[in-house]
Structure formats: structure tokens, C-alpha cells
Amino acid sequence: MIAPGSTELTLPVASEYDIVAARQRARDVAKGLGFSLVDQSRIATAVSELTRNVVRYATDSRGEVRIRPLERSARGVGIEIVVADDGPGIPDVAEAMRAGVSGGKGLGMGLPGTRRLMDEMEIDSEPGRGTLVTIRKWRR
Amino acid sequence: MGRVPIVRIGDTLLATVQDDLYDRDALALQEELSAMLEQTEARGVLIDVSVVETVDSYLGRILRDVALGARLLGAHTVVVGIQPAVAVTLVELGLEIKGIHTALNPEKGMARLRRLLAAEEARDRSRVH
């Protein structure tokens, strides 16, 4: 059991092997926090989508995944995952969020799909300066 | 984690996924199934994903591509054992799964394959007459 407020986990991303590692760690943390099986699946899948974007698009496929438990009086227990890279960035975040399944390059379903799986998602990105995606889910 | 074993049972190929798949394992499964379909002239493919905890858009796409590819080689594919939590996630993710046949377990999947093949044979016969 991982107590809310315990320290943040930081996982390096450098190859496709880290996609599976990152989503399994996120699932473990979510399970420890008491998330339901369906929520564990949503969280693991969201982390898989975002980490794959790093492996596909970031410079040298490098980035990092940070996972931390949250506890807020208004929302209760939650989980926050930050997926960061210093790759080429997303030129038009709004467009990336609108893109459909057939986006072709793969970002298509990734971002809008990830948003639907989570309660909150923020994207901070600038061309040439990398991308920072923060997702949160609150325990029901 | 690793390769997905594929066994032939009569005219059906059974692939049982043993663990969460790396991308390259999913691609290898796709290629090996195509090669085995060509060699064995199997008419059905059953993919058991009952132990798979996470199906993201990538693996979902591979499963769909396997089914479409098998179709071009004259075989039907049934994906069996999708966990309920995975099913909910795939719907929310927005994965397009048109063209994928599914069943709750291998036994029902096998029955589904038999029906698909029987329907195809009935169509073939009606064309001859």
C-alpha cells in the first residue's frame, strides 16, 4: 500500500521497453491507492499512450514519467502522472486534441483518447522546447 | 514477456498471449500469424488475450490489422477473453474495432469460427448453383 503523499516515482524513458515498465508502475501505484480495476486499466492505458508518444516523437526517444499520489480535501485520493520530454514539441495543441482516429502518424487517438480516460489533462508544449503532459485521476 | 506461441489445431491457429506485450512482440505475432496462415492454409485464427491487462491504441490496431490481414489470406479471426476492464477502456479510448470478431472465451470463440466458416461455405455453394 502506497500512502497518499508518499514520494514521487521517476522513471526514465529511453526505448519501447519503458512503455510497458511505465504503465505497469502506474497501475501498481493506482492499485495501491485503491483504484478500481477499470480505473487501473484506464490509468495504465493513458500512461501507455503518452509514453509511446515520447518513444515515437521525442529526441532520441528520451523523456521521463513521474508518478505521484495526491490527496486533496476537496477531491480525496488521486494519482498524478507527468510525462515529459524535450523533443520537437507539439506545434498546435488544440489541433492535436481534435485529431481523429485516422490521424495517421499515431498521435491521432492518443491525446483525445487519453483525455477521455482521465479526469484531468494539461498539455504544456512549444515547438522546439519539448512537451509536458500532466494527467490526473481521482478515486471514486 | 516475449513471443506469443502459436499452435495449430485442425484448420485453426491458436495464439495465446502470455503477458503484456512489447510493441515488437505484437509485430512479431502479426508476422508469424501471416506466415503460418500461408504455410498451413488454416482458415481460422483464435487470439486469446485473457491475461492481457492493458490494450492501448497500438495493440488494438495490431489486433485489427491481424484480423484484416488474415481475411486477405482467406481466414477469419476471433479475439477471445478481453477482460471487462480492458473492454471499457477500449471503448473510451475510441478504438475502431469494426471487423474484429470477439468471444468471451476460447470455447465460444471456436464456435464462432465454425459459424463464420459454415456461412462462408454456404455462400460458396450457393454461388456454384
Domain range enclosing A29:
9-138
Residue among B1, B57, B83, B90 with most chain A CBs within 10 A, to mutate: B57
Mean pLDDT, range B71-86, rounded to an integer: 96
CATH code assigned at A74: 3.30.565.10
Residue carrying the nine cell digits 493506482: A30
Residue B88 and residue A38: Cβ atoms within 8 Å?
A: yes
Q: Quick check: B2 contacting A, CB < 8 Å?
A: no
Could you tell me if residue B116 is inside a domain?
Answer: yes
Could you tell me if residue A28 is inside a domain?
Answer: yes
Could you tell me if residue B115 is inside a domain?
Answer: yes
Number of CB atoms found within 10 A of residue B110's CB? 19
Number of CB atoms found within 10 A of residue B17's CB? 22
pLDDT digits (tens, 9 = 90+) for B92-102: 998 877 778 99
Mean pLDDT, range B38-56, rounded to an integer: 95
Residue carrying the nine cell digits 470477439: B102
* Crossing angle of the two packed helices B57-72 and B84-93, in degrees rounded to 10: 90
Query: pTM to 2 decimals?
Result: 0.90
Could you tell me if residue A131 is inside a domain?
Answer: yes
Could you tell me if residue B50 is inside a domain?
Answer: yes
Contact A97, A108 (CB under 8 A): no
Could you tell me if residue A2 is inside a domain?
Answer: no
Mapped onto helix, strand or coil, the DSSP state of residue A82 is strand
Say if strands B6-9 and B12-16 run parallel, antiparallel, or are unpaired. antiparallel
- What is the total count of domains within chain A? 1
Q: Is the pLDDT of residue B44 over 70?
A: yes
* Residue A110: predicted pLDDT: 79
Closest to A117 in 3D by CA, of A69, A50, A21: A50
Mean pLDDT, range B29-58, rounded to an integer: 95
Could you tell me if residue A1 is inside a domain?
Answer: no
CATH code assigned at B31: 3.30.750.24
Mean pLDDT, range B17-41, rounded to an integer: 94
* Residue A99: predicted pLDDT: 61
Could you tell me if residue B1 is inside a domain?
Answer: no
ipTM of the complex: 0.90
Closest to A81 in 3D by CA, of A2, A27, A1: A27
Residue A17 and residue B22: Cβ atoms within 8 Å?
A: yes
CA distance, residue A87 to nearest chain B CA (Å): 21
* Residue A100: predicted pLDDT: 55
Could you tell me if residue A47 is inside a domain?
Answer: yes
* Residue A7: predicted pLDDT: 79
* Residue A6: predicted pLDDT: 61
Could you tell me if residue B49 is inside a domain?
Answer: yes
Could you tell me if residue B56 is inside a domain?
Answer: yes
Q: Which residues of chain A have pLDDT under 70?
A: 1-6, 99-109
- What is the total count of domains within chain B? 1
Closest to B102 in 3D by CA, of B123, B89, B116: B116
Domain range enclosing B111:
6-128
Contact A133, A49 (CB under 8 A): no
Residues of B in contact with A101 (CB under 8 A): 94-96
d(Cα A54, Cα A50) in Å, to the nearest integer?
A: 7
